[in-house]
Amino acid sequence: MAKRVLVLGFFSGRHSGMYRFVTEDLIDHLTAIGWQVTGASAYRNRPLRLIDMMLTSWRARPAYDVAVIDVFSGLAFRQAEANVWQLQRLKKPFVLTLHGGNLPEFSKKHPERVRRLLAAAAAVTAPSGYLRGALHHLRADIMLVPNPLDLSLYHYRQRGQFRPRLLYLRALHAVYNPMLAVRVVAHLRSSFPDIQLAMVGPDKGDGTLQAVQAEINRLGVGEQVKIIGGVPKSTVPSWHDQADIFINPTNVDNTPISLMEAMASGLCVVSTNVGGIPDLVADGQEALLVPPDDVEAMAAAVTRVLTEPGLGQRLTTAAAAHAAQLDWETVIQQWDQLLTSVTASSPN
């Protein structure tokens, strides 16, 4: 049986070499195991992206037997609804793959829209137990297919003595609360005068970059905090190697790849305990988790890593072992089996 699939998502890093969504890597790994993949779209403009998806779905209809559709909340949910509407009329089976820490809240506001969308799919996947559990009442058979890593891209380095070298590696957007990271540095500066924070991630254009820079100036931590901006994906391991602690101050999250990458590289993770993060890492076992937007709690967790003998080594060893279970080599087999099963079950 031919293996032919259409993948519909936002391929933000496909041409830029910057951060990539999981679906972009899925295309590469499906291709590597013999699937013929058609994909859309790399357009940043949302209306153009949707048009490209719809045209691709129509024009390529003889070239695929099953589709994979990314599902996010907010305006992006309409995109998934439009894709589903078209694929139903083309009589093509499809798999929905859920993303984003805001999707549970969105489903509370729009339960019937979400229920309809999920019910239409041959299968639905979620990358975390958190997301699967939050939408279980809308569809009971959501499959857990974790966000994977290509472990060959990351170098695990066991730190001996942990230094106050912090890394923030997320987009500069209000939802990720980068302001908290800056305030943590200001809080710790008197105890650790050599503390440094590198803020690596693209500006998402919501004013957060400017607000963070203003806060750096207000707190007088310009010597300690450096805004790097977006970097090519290939350089991420070098940023990992320069740091010892990965700080994740987000207010909303699911299963962030950036956190998993840090685990695979031997950084000690200090994160808020929001969304799917407690499902991804256990507090006190693989990371230190604190309440959201709590400067003192996050600063205290960083202090523990820097001062408590053996804590950082214990956390990072367990975290790296957990990350090893999320390698693409394992996860791509789940996708292969799922898509093969959906294709075989389709009456067309």
d(CA 201, CA 222): 18
Report, as an integer, the average pLDDT of 43-66: 96
Q: How confident is the model at residue 195 (pLDDT cuts 50, 70, 90)?
A: very high
Q: What is the pLDDT of residues 17-46, one digit of tens each?
A: 455 678 889 999 999 999 999 999 999 899
- Of 312 and 101, the one with more pLDDT: 312
| Cα dihedral 127/144/247/151 (nearest 10) | -90
Q: Tell me how far CA of residue 185 lies from CA of 166, 236, 274, in angstroms.
A: 9, 22, 21
Most confidently modeled range among 22-26, 250-254, 336-340: 336-340
DSSP 318-330: HHHHHHGGGBHHH
Q: What is the pLDDT of residues 318-329, one digit of tens each?
A: 999 999 888 999
- Of 348 and 330, the one with more pLDDT: 330
Q: Which two tokens stand for residue 171?
A: 């987009």
Instruction: Decide if 229 contacts 122 (C-beta within 8 A).
Output: no
Q: How confident is the model at residue 1 (pLDDT cuts 50, 70, 90)?
A: low
Going along the chain from its start, the domains and CATH numbers come out as 4-148+327-343 (3.40.50.2000), 151-325 (3.40.50.2000)
What is the pTM (predicted TM-score) of this model? 0.78
Q: How confident is the model at residue 100 (pLDDT cuts 50, 70, 90)?
A: confident
pLDDT given for residue 19 in this prediction: 58
pLDDT given for residue 15 in this prediction: 44
Using alpha carbons, select from 331, 21, 339, 335 the residue that is nearest to residue 148.
331
Q: What is the pLDDT of residues 197-246, one digit of tens each?
A: 999 999 999 999 999 999 999 999 999 999 999 999 889 999 999 999 99
Using alpha carbons, select from 185, 181, 319 the residue that is nearest to residue 250.
181
Q: How confident is the model at residue 175 (pLDDT cuts 50, 70, 90)?
A: very high
Mean pLDDT of the chain: 94
Residue 253 pLDDT > 90: no
**With left for phi above 0 and alpha for psi between -120 and 50, is residue 284 left, alpha or beta?**
left
Q: How many residues does the chain have?
A: 348
